[in-house]
Amino acid sequence: MDLASILYLGVTFGLFVIFVLIVLRTYSKKRKDEGEIAKYRMLDDE
């Protein structure tokens, strides 16, 4: 494996890790209610 491939895979894996962190944060029990507020607020945007 050359440096370019390692870099390419590294970036892909790095992005994947960020994605997993986003999922964990979004679905954390602590943030359950907060994560849904926006959908109610948008209905009342007068």
Partner 1 sequence: MKSTEYNYDIVRSFVNWSVLWGLVAVLVGVIVSFQMVDPRLNFPPYLTFGRLRPIHTNAGIYGWGVGVIFATFIYMVQRLCRTPLWSPKLARFQLWFFNATIIASAVTLLMGYTTSKEYHEMEWPIDVMVVILWVVFALNIIMTIIKRREEHMYISLWYMMASLVGVAILYLVNAAAVPVSLFKSYSAFAGTNDANVHWWFGHNAVAMALTAPPLAMFYYFLPKSTGVPIYSHRLSIIAFWSLLFMYLWTGAHHLLWTPVPDWIQTLAMGFSVMLIAPSWGSVINGYLSMNGQWHQMRENYLVKYLILGITFYGLQTIQGPMQAIRTFSAFIHYTDWVPAHIHMGTMGWVSMICFASIYYLVPRIYGKKLFSIPLANLQFWLILVGQLTWSFSLWIAGVLQAGMWTAMNPDGSLTYTFMETMVEMYPYWWIRSIGGLIYFVGVVVFIYNLVMTVRHGEIASTEAAAEGRA
Residue 6 has phi, psi (to 5 degrees) of -65, -40
Task: List binders of partner 1 among 5-44 (CB under 8 A).
Answer: 12, 15-16, 19, 22-23, 26-27, 35-43
Q: Does 2 bind partner 1 (CB under 8 A)?
A: no
Task: Tell me the closest approach of the beta carbon of residue 7 to partner 1, in angstroms.
Answer: 14
- In the chain, the N- to C-terminal Cα span, in Å, equals 57
CB of 34 within 8 A of CB of 27?
no
The single-letter DSSP state of residue 32 is T
Task: Tell me the closest approach of the beta carbon of residue 26 to partner 1, in angstroms.
Answer: 5
The binding site for partner 1 (CB under 8 A) comprises 12, 15-16, 19, 22-23, 26-27, 35-43, 45-46
